[in-house]
Structure 1
Protein backbone atom coordinates (compact mmCIF):
# COMPACT_ATOMS: atom_id res chain seq x y z
CA UNK A 1 0.00 0.00 0.00
CA UNK A 2 1.38 3.40 -0.97
CA UNK A 3 1.87 5.99 1.76
CA UNK A 4 3.32 9.46 1.27
CA UNK A 5 2.23 11.67 4.14
CA UNK A 6 4.06 14.65 2.63
CA UNK A 7 1.38 14.75 -0.11
CA UNK A 8 -1.48 13.72 2.20
CA UNK A 9 -1.52 10.03 1.14
CA UNK A 10 -2.01 7.79 4.14
CA UNK A 11 -3.81 4.61 3.17
CA UNK A 12 -4.20 3.61 6.82
CA UNK A 13 -6.54 6.59 7.38
CA UNK A 14 -8.69 5.97 4.29
CA UNK A 15 -12.06 4.36 4.90
CA UNK A 16 -14.43 3.39 2.13
CA UNK A 17 -17.97 2.32 1.49
CA UNK A 18 -19.15 0.39 -1.55
CA UNK A 19 -22.64 -0.21 -2.91
CA UNK A 20 -24.26 -1.60 -6.06
CA UNK A 21 -26.96 0.21 -8.02
CA UNK A 22 -29.71 -1.29 -10.14
CA UNK A 23 -30.55 0.20 -13.54
CA UNK A 24 -32.93 3.14 -13.18
CA UNK A 25 -35.04 4.51 -16.06
CA UNK A 26 -32.57 5.46 -18.82
CA UNK A 27 -29.50 5.18 -16.54
CA UNK A 28 -27.88 1.73 -16.84
CA UNK A 29 -25.73 1.97 -13.69
CA UNK A 30 -23.56 -1.12 -13.34
CA UNK A 31 -24.98 -4.37 -12.02
CA UNK A 32 -21.59 -5.99 -11.34
CA UNK A 33 -19.31 -3.18 -10.18
CA UNK A 34 -19.99 -1.14 -7.04
CA UNK A 35 -19.66 2.58 -6.58
CA UNK A 36 -16.92 3.25 -4.01
CA UNK A 37 -16.65 6.30 -1.76
CA UNK A 38 -13.20 6.77 -0.20
CA UNK A 39 -13.38 8.87 2.95
CA UNK A 40 -10.22 10.86 3.64
CA UNK A 41 -8.36 9.48 0.63
CA UNK A 42 -6.22 12.57 1.19
CA UNK A 43 -6.01 14.59 4.36
CA UNK A 44 -7.90 17.88 3.77
CA UNK A 45 -5.25 20.01 5.48
CA UNK A 46 -2.36 18.56 3.45
CA UNK A 47 -2.00 21.45 1.00
CA UNK A 48 -2.89 21.53 -2.69
CA UNK A 49 -5.40 18.66 -2.89
CA UNK A 50 -5.94 19.06 -6.63
CA UNK A 51 -2.23 18.56 -7.37
CA UNK A 52 -2.04 15.72 -4.83
CA UNK A 53 -4.99 13.90 -6.44
CA UNK A 54 -3.37 14.35 -9.86
CA UNK A 55 -0.14 12.78 -8.59
CA UNK A 56 -2.02 9.93 -6.92
CA UNK A 57 -4.19 9.17 -9.95
CA UNK A 58 -1.20 9.28 -12.30
CA UNK A 59 0.80 6.94 -10.05
CA UNK A 60 -2.08 4.43 -10.19
CA UNK A 61 -2.67 4.61 -13.99
CA UNK A 62 -5.81 6.77 -13.75
CA UNK A 63 -4.43 10.01 -15.23
CA UNK A 64 -6.32 13.16 -14.32
CA UNK A 65 -7.96 14.86 -17.29
CA UNK A 66 -9.67 17.90 -15.80
CA UNK A 67 -10.46 20.01 -12.72
CA UNK A 68 -13.91 21.53 -12.22
CA UNK A 69 -17.25 20.76 -10.57
CA UNK A 70 -19.83 18.05 -11.31
CA UNK A 71 -22.61 18.77 -13.80
CA UNK A 72 -25.94 19.65 -12.20
CA UNK A 73 -27.85 17.39 -14.57
CA UNK A 74 -28.10 13.60 -14.57
CA UNK A 75 -25.58 11.93 -16.84
CA UNK A 76 -23.26 8.93 -17.03
CA UNK A 77 -20.21 7.78 -18.95
CA UNK A 78 -20.54 4.68 -21.12
CA UNK A 79 -16.98 4.57 -22.44
CA UNK A 80 -14.93 4.96 -19.25
CA UNK A 81 -14.86 4.36 -15.54
CA UNK A 82 -14.31 7.58 -13.54
CA UNK A 83 -12.75 8.65 -10.26
CA UNK A 84 -13.48 12.08 -8.79
CA UNK A 85 -11.15 13.44 -6.11
CA UNK A 86 -12.71 16.28 -4.10
CA UNK A 87 -10.11 19.02 -3.94
CA UNK A 88 -12.27 21.72 -2.35
CA UNK A 89 -15.55 22.25 -0.55
CA UNK A 90 -18.26 19.66 -0.14
CA UNK A 91 -21.31 18.54 -2.07
CA UNK A 92 -24.33 16.32 -2.15
CA UNK A 93 -24.30 14.18 -5.29
CA UNK A 94 -27.11 11.99 -6.56
CA UNK A 95 -25.70 8.69 -7.82
CA UNK A 96 -27.76 6.20 -9.78
CA UNK A 97 -29.87 8.59 -11.85
CA UNK A 98 -33.04 10.56 -11.04
CA UNK A 99 -34.31 9.45 -7.63
CA UNK A 100 -30.98 7.76 -6.88
CA UNK A 101 -28.91 7.68 -3.71
CA UNK A 102 -27.70 11.02 -2.32
CA UNK A 103 -24.14 10.93 -1.01
CA UNK A 104 -22.15 13.68 0.66
CA UNK A 105 -18.52 14.11 -0.34
CA UNK A 106 -16.00 16.56 1.11
CA UNK A 107 -12.47 17.78 0.48
CA UNK A 108 -10.11 14.81 0.59
CA UNK A 109 -12.77 12.24 -0.37
CA UNK A 110 -12.88 10.41 -3.70
CA UNK A 111 -15.79 8.87 -5.59
CA UNK A 112 -15.20 5.89 -7.91
CA UNK A 113 -17.93 5.48 -10.52
CA UNK A 114 -18.02 2.40 -12.73
CA UNK A 115 -19.06 3.07 -16.33
CA UNK A 116 -22.81 3.59 -16.62
CA UNK A 117 -23.26 5.07 -13.14
CA UNK A 118 -25.53 8.10 -13.18
CA UNK A 119 -24.41 11.14 -11.22
CA UNK A 120 -25.62 14.70 -10.73
CA UNK A 121 -24.65 17.57 -8.43
CA UNK A 122 -27.55 18.31 -6.07
CA UNK A 123 -25.97 21.01 -3.90
CA UNK A 124 -22.55 22.23 -2.81
CA UNK A 125 -20.82 24.36 -0.19
CA UNK A 126 -17.75 26.55 -0.36
CA UNK A 127 -15.61 26.33 -3.49
CA UNK A 128 -16.49 22.79 -4.51
CA UNK A 129 -14.06 21.31 -7.02
CA UNK A 130 -13.08 17.84 -8.16
CA UNK A 131 -10.21 16.34 -10.12
CA UNK A 132 -11.37 13.65 -12.57
CA UNK A 133 -9.29 10.66 -13.61
CA UNK A 134 -9.96 7.81 -16.01
CA UNK A 135 -8.12 4.53 -16.58
CA UNK A 136 -5.36 4.68 -19.15
CA UNK A 137 -6.77 3.93 -22.59
CA UNK A 138 -10.35 4.94 -21.76
CA UNK A 139 -11.91 8.16 -23.07
CA UNK A 140 -14.98 9.56 -21.30
CA UNK A 141 -18.21 10.60 -22.96
CA UNK A 142 -21.35 12.27 -21.59
CA UNK A 143 -24.63 10.39 -21.93
CA UNK A 144 -28.10 11.67 -21.08
CA UNK A 145 -30.24 9.01 -22.72
CA UNK A 146 -30.61 5.24 -22.78
CA UNK A 147 -27.96 3.15 -24.50
CA UNK A 148 -28.70 0.90 -27.43
CA UNK A 149 -28.18 -2.83 -26.80
CA UNK A 150 -24.86 -2.64 -28.68
CA UNK A 151 -23.67 0.34 -26.63
CA UNK A 152 -24.67 -1.41 -23.40
CA UNK A 153 -22.73 -4.50 -24.48
CA UNK A 154 -19.66 -2.36 -25.26
CA UNK A 155 -19.94 -0.62 -21.88
CA UNK A 156 -20.14 -3.93 -20.04
CA UNK A 157 -17.09 -5.16 -21.96
CA UNK A 158 -14.83 -2.26 -20.86
CA UNK A 159 -11.57 -3.61 -19.45
CA UNK A 160 -11.06 -3.47 -15.71
CA UNK A 161 -8.24 -1.22 -14.54
CA UNK A 162 -5.37 -3.14 -12.99
CA UNK A 163 -4.93 -0.68 -10.11
CA UNK A 164 -7.21 1.03 -7.63
CA UNK A 165 -7.02 4.81 -8.29
CA UNK A 166 -6.34 5.53 -4.60
CA UNK A 167 -4.62 2.48 -3.09
CA UNK A 168 -2.95 0.91 -6.11
CA UNK A 169 -2.84 -2.87 -5.72
CA UNK A 170 -4.61 -2.96 -2.34
CA UNK A 171 -7.82 -0.95 -2.65
CA UNK A 172 -11.51 -1.76 -3.01
CA UNK A 173 -11.32 -1.76 -6.81
CA UNK A 174 -9.01 -4.76 -6.59
CA UNK A 175 -11.12 -6.32 -3.82
CA UNK A 176 -14.56 -5.84 -5.43
CA UNK A 177 -14.16 -5.10 -9.13
CA UNK A 178 -11.57 -7.68 -10.09
CA UNK A 179 -13.40 -10.34 -8.08
CA UNK A 180 -16.57 -9.53 -10.07
CA UNK A 181 -14.73 -9.93 -13.39
Structure 2
Protein backbone atom coordinates (compact mmCIF):
# COMPACT_ATOMS: atom_id res chain seq x y z
CA UNK A 1 0.00 0.00 0.00
CA UNK A 2 1.18 3.50 -0.87
CA UNK A 3 2.14 5.99 1.84
CA UNK A 4 -0.34 8.84 2.04
CA UNK A 5 -1.19 11.76 4.31
CA UNK A 6 -4.86 12.65 4.75
CA UNK A 7 -6.04 15.79 6.56
CA UNK A 8 -9.45 16.41 8.12
CA UNK A 9 -10.94 19.38 9.93
CA UNK A 10 -13.38 18.23 12.60
CA UNK A 11 -15.90 20.93 13.49
CA UNK A 12 -17.46 21.65 16.87
CA UNK A 13 -20.76 19.77 17.19
CA UNK A 14 -22.41 21.14 20.34
CA UNK A 15 -21.16 18.30 22.52
CA UNK A 16 -17.48 18.12 21.62
CA UNK A 17 -15.31 21.16 20.92
CA UNK A 18 -13.27 19.32 18.29
CA UNK A 19 -10.82 21.61 16.48
CA UNK A 20 -11.57 23.79 13.48
CA UNK A 21 -8.08 25.34 13.41
CA UNK A 22 -5.90 22.22 13.29
CA UNK A 23 -6.47 19.18 11.10
CA UNK A 24 -6.50 15.57 12.19
CA UNK A 25 -3.61 13.99 10.29
CA UNK A 26 -3.86 10.39 9.12
CA UNK A 27 -0.54 9.00 7.92
CA UNK A 28 -1.46 5.84 6.00
CA UNK A 29 1.14 3.08 5.85
CA UNK A 30 3.75 5.52 7.18
CA UNK A 31 5.67 3.31 9.61
CA UNK A 32 7.41 0.06 8.78
CA UNK A 33 6.49 -1.85 11.92
CA UNK A 34 9.20 -4.39 12.77
CA UNK A 35 8.19 -7.97 13.58
CA UNK A 36 10.15 -7.93 16.83
CA UNK A 37 10.04 -5.21 19.47
CA UNK A 38 7.55 -3.08 17.51
CA UNK A 39 6.44 -1.12 20.58
CA UNK A 40 10.02 -0.32 21.53
CA UNK A 41 10.85 0.86 18.01
CA UNK A 42 7.83 3.16 17.74
CA UNK A 43 8.30 4.56 21.25
CA UNK A 44 11.91 5.32 20.34
CA UNK A 45 10.81 7.10 17.13
CA UNK A 46 8.23 9.19 19.00
CA UNK A 47 10.64 10.07 21.82
CA UNK A 48 13.48 11.10 19.52
CA UNK A 49 10.97 13.44 17.86
CA UNK A 50 9.84 14.97 21.17
CA UNK A 51 6.65 12.94 21.73
CA UNK A 52 6.80 11.15 25.09
CA UNK A 53 4.57 9.97 27.93
CA UNK A 54 4.11 6.92 25.73
CA UNK A 55 1.61 4.14 26.22
CA UNK A 56 0.85 0.79 24.56
CA UNK A 57 -2.82 -0.21 24.41
CA UNK A 58 -5.96 -0.39 22.30
CA UNK A 59 -8.27 2.57 21.67
CA UNK A 60 -11.17 3.26 24.03
CA UNK A 61 -14.65 2.42 22.72
CA UNK A 62 -16.21 5.59 24.12
CA UNK A 63 -15.91 9.21 23.01
CA UNK A 64 -13.17 11.11 24.78
CA UNK A 65 -10.81 13.99 24.09
CA UNK A 66 -7.87 15.82 25.57
CA UNK A 67 -8.14 19.57 26.07
CA UNK A 68 -4.57 20.27 27.16
CA UNK A 69 -2.49 18.47 24.53
CA UNK A 70 -2.43 16.88 21.10
CA UNK A 71 -2.10 13.09 20.75
CA UNK A 72 -0.35 10.76 18.32
CA UNK A 73 -1.19 7.07 17.91
CA UNK A 74 0.76 4.62 15.79
CA UNK A 75 -0.94 1.30 15.01
CA UNK A 76 1.51 -1.56 15.52
CA UNK A 77 -1.01 -4.41 15.24
CA UNK A 78 -4.50 -4.96 13.83
CA UNK A 79 -7.06 -2.67 12.25
CA UNK A 80 -10.27 -0.91 13.24
CA UNK A 81 -12.56 2.00 12.50
CA UNK A 82 -12.19 5.17 14.56
CA UNK A 83 -14.91 7.81 14.88
CA UNK A 84 -13.62 11.39 15.09
CA UNK A 85 -15.76 14.24 16.38
CA UNK A 86 -18.56 12.35 18.08
CA UNK A 87 -21.96 11.39 16.67
CA UNK A 88 -22.15 12.20 12.96
CA UNK A 89 -18.38 12.67 12.78
CA UNK A 90 -15.81 11.22 10.39
CA UNK A 91 -15.08 7.50 10.34
CA UNK A 92 -11.53 6.42 9.52
CA UNK A 93 -10.18 2.96 8.88
CA UNK A 94 -6.80 2.60 10.56
CA UNK A 95 -4.41 -0.33 10.44
CA UNK A 96 -0.89 -1.50 11.19
CA UNK A 97 1.62 1.07 9.96
CA UNK A 98 -0.77 4.03 10.23
CA UNK A 99 -0.27 7.05 12.48
CA UNK A 100 -3.13 9.26 13.63
CA UNK A 101 -2.36 12.73 15.00
CA UNK A 102 -5.30 14.20 16.86
CA UNK A 103 -5.42 17.90 17.78
CA UNK A 104 -6.48 18.95 21.27
CA UNK A 105 -10.27 18.91 21.60
CA UNK A 106 -11.08 16.32 18.93
CA UNK A 107 -13.25 13.51 20.27
CA UNK A 108 -12.25 10.02 19.22
CA UNK A 109 -13.35 6.45 19.87
CA UNK A 110 -12.91 2.96 18.51
CA UNK A 111 -16.02 1.66 16.76
CA UNK A 112 -14.71 -1.89 17.00
CA UNK A 113 -13.41 -3.64 20.10
CA UNK A 114 -10.84 -1.84 22.24
CA UNK A 115 -8.11 -4.34 21.47
CA UNK A 116 -8.79 -4.77 17.74
CA UNK A 117 -5.67 -2.63 17.42
CA UNK A 118 -2.56 -2.17 19.49
CA UNK A 119 -1.24 1.37 19.40
CA UNK A 120 1.66 3.33 20.74
CA UNK A 121 0.54 6.74 21.89
CA UNK A 122 2.47 9.87 22.71
CA UNK A 123 2.17 13.57 23.47
CA UNK A 124 4.38 16.52 22.52
CA UNK A 125 6.93 17.35 25.22
CA UNK A 126 5.71 14.26 27.13
CA UNK A 127 2.75 16.23 28.50
CA UNK A 128 0.33 14.63 30.93
CA UNK A 129 -3.04 14.50 29.20
CA UNK A 130 -6.45 15.19 30.70
CA UNK A 131 -9.58 13.16 29.89
CA UNK A 132 -12.89 14.67 28.85
CA UNK A 133 -16.04 12.87 27.74
CA UNK A 134 -18.50 15.46 26.42
CA UNK A 135 -20.21 16.13 29.76
CA UNK A 136 -22.13 19.42 30.00
CA UNK A 137 -19.97 20.75 32.84
CA UNK A 138 -16.69 20.42 30.86
CA UNK A 139 -17.29 23.42 28.67
CA UNK A 140 -16.48 26.32 28.40
CA UNK A 141 -13.44 25.48 30.59
CA UNK A 142 -12.09 22.95 28.08
CA UNK A 143 -12.63 25.44 25.23
CA UNK A 144 -10.36 27.94 27.01
CA UNK A 145 -7.75 25.24 27.64
CA UNK A 146 -7.79 24.11 23.99
CA UNK A 147 -7.32 27.69 22.79
CA UNK A 148 -4.02 27.86 24.73
CA UNK A 149 -2.52 24.66 23.25
CA UNK A 150 0.11 25.58 20.65
CA UNK A 151 1.11 23.45 17.67
CA UNK A 152 4.11 21.30 18.65
CA UNK A 153 7.59 22.07 17.35
CA UNK A 154 8.00 18.56 15.95
CA UNK A 155 6.07 15.83 14.19
CA UNK A 156 6.11 12.41 15.96
CA UNK A 157 7.25 10.66 12.75
CA UNK A 158 9.21 13.29 10.79
CA UNK A 159 10.63 15.46 13.57
CA UNK A 160 11.29 19.04 12.48
CA UNK A 161 11.35 18.16 8.77
CA UNK A 162 7.73 18.02 7.64
CA UNK A 163 4.29 16.70 8.53
CA UNK A 164 2.42 18.65 11.15
CA UNK A 165 5.16 21.30 11.32
CA UNK A 166 4.03 22.26 7.80
CA UNK A 167 0.30 21.61 8.22
CA UNK A 168 -0.14 23.16 11.66
CA UNK A 169 1.71 26.43 11.30
CA UNK A 170 0.91 28.69 14.24
CA UNK A 171 -1.31 31.49 12.88
CA UNK A 172 0.14 33.82 15.55
CA UNK A 173 3.69 33.25 14.31
Q: Distance in 2 between matches of 1:175 and 1:34?
A: 11
Change (3 A) 1:75 1:126: closer
Q: Which structure 2 segments of 5+ residues have no match?
A: none
Change (3 A) 1:42 1:23: same
Match of residue 139, structure 1, among 117, 128, 143: 128
SS of aligned partner of 1:35:
strand
Match of residue 24, structure 1, among 13, 20, 23: 13
Counterpart for residue 48 of structure 1: 37
SS of aligned partner of 2:121:
strand
Whether the 8 Å contact between 1:16 and 1:37 is mirrored in structure 2 is: yes
Counterpart for residue 163 of structure 2: 172
Match of residue 55, structure 2, among 57, 62, 66: 66
Whether the 8 Å contact between 1:42 and 1:49 is mirrored in structure 2 is: no
For each residue in 1:27-60, what CA deviation from the matched residue of structure 2 results, as whole angstroms up to 9, or x when unmatched?
A: 1111100000011221245543222210110011
Whether the 8 Å contact between 2:61 and 2:111 is mirrored in structure 1 is: yes
Match of residue 83, structure 1, among 72, 80, 100: 72
Whether the 8 Å contact between 2:6 and 2:25 is mirrored in structure 1 is: yes
Shift of 1:88: 0.5
Aligned residues: 169
Counterpart for residue 8 of structure 1: none
Q: Which structure 1 segments of 5+ residues have no match?
A: 1-12
Change (3 A) 1:58 1:108: same
Shift of 1:79: 1.2
Q: Distance in 2 between matches of 1:126 and 1:158?
A: 30
Whether the 8 Å contact between 1:92 and 1:124 is mirrored in structure 2 is: no
Counterpart for residue 163 of structure 1: 154
Structure 2 length-normalised TM: 0.88
Shift of 1:83: 0.1
Greater shift in the superposed pair: 76-85 or 148-157:
148-157
Shift of 1:124: 5.2
